[in-house]
Structure formats: structure tokens, C-alpha cells
Amino acid sequence: MKTHYLLLLPFLLIASCKKDEDNYQPIGNYATQNDLNNGLNGITAKSYNFSLTYGVSTNAAVYNMPDNSMYGKVTFVYLDRGFYDWVMLPYYANNPGYVPVNYIATCDEISEVITVETLRGDNVNSSPWAVNNVTKDFKAVVINCTPGKINLNDFRDYNKVKKMFNLKD
């Protein structure tokens, strides 16, 4: 008999809980699309276009951001796959006939630099570039916001970010 009560106990606990539908809120104070359109609490964004050059012996390159542009802010880095088709880093490029490449960005807000490393995606320990002077175009979007005040779910798509903050290319 004791076993039956133990089996019923979880059911009774769950059945006795009532979800308060009217007061259900996500944890934190996230901005809504309307808030972003109206500039919630000074949330702003700025984009920076830059190019980095890689080669046979160079698989990492550095872009120096302007002073005080990144400290205490959120930074996203995008790669132009061609014809202004921007993808957020990290990104794995696997084009037929070419060595697959992993693009990884590191943003150092203290030094105000962005390092974009390119690694071979086939686990070979060498540069993914067979020639020198391979130039790639990037874009950094720096968002001035208080952590927890913005929902970062839509930032993989640069076109959404551009529209959200009225960024100029």
C-alpha cells in the first residue's frame, strides 16, 4: 500500500500546481521589436566594414576597431560569402572543389581588436589558403546595450539586424 502512495505522490504534486497564465513572463526584461524600433533605453548599433587578407602562411588576421567602440558592448562579426550575402561567424564554408574553411572571430573589447582565424575544415594542420593575398570582406555590428535588455535570437541574419537598427552599408 505504501508503494501506491509513493507512485501517486508525483501525480498529485503536478496536478495541484496551477500555472498562472496572466502573469507568465520570461526571466529578464527583453526588448520587444516595438521597443527596438523606438530606441529602448538608448539601444543603438553601428556597423564597421573591413577586409582582411590571408595567405599560405597566414590563417589569422586582425582588424583594429576605433577607440571606445567595443568596450561594454555586444559585437557580432559577419562574413560576405559574395554578393553581399552576409553570414554570422563562426561559419563553416564547404564549397565543392575547395578546402573547407572554418571562420572564427574573437572580439577583444579591451584591446579593441577583432581577430578572424581561418582553419582548415578537413583537420589538416596548415593554412586553408593555397595562394597569398586572399582578401575576405567582413562586417562588425556593435550594439550598445545593457546585458539582459535585448533578446539576441535574431542576430544570425544580418539583413534583420540591418533593418532592426536602420544600419547603412
Map grid coordinates 581561418 to a residue: 118
CA 135/CA 149 separation, integer angstroms:
36
- What pLDDT shows up at residue 21? 43
- What pLDDT shows up at residue 164? 78
Q: Write out 104-116 in H/E/C secondary structure.
A: EEEEECCCCEEEE
Residue-level pLDDT, tens digit, the chain, 169 residues: 444 443 333 333 333 334 444 443 334 444 555 555 555 456 788 999 999 999 999 899 999 999 888 888 889 999 999 888 999 999 999 988 889 999 999 999 899 999 999 999 888 888 899 899 999 999 999 988 765 666 666 677 888 888 877 887 7
What are the extents of the domains in the chain? 44-162
CATH of the domain spanning 44-162, picked from 1.10.60, 1.10.3470, 2.30.230, 2.60.40: 2.60.40
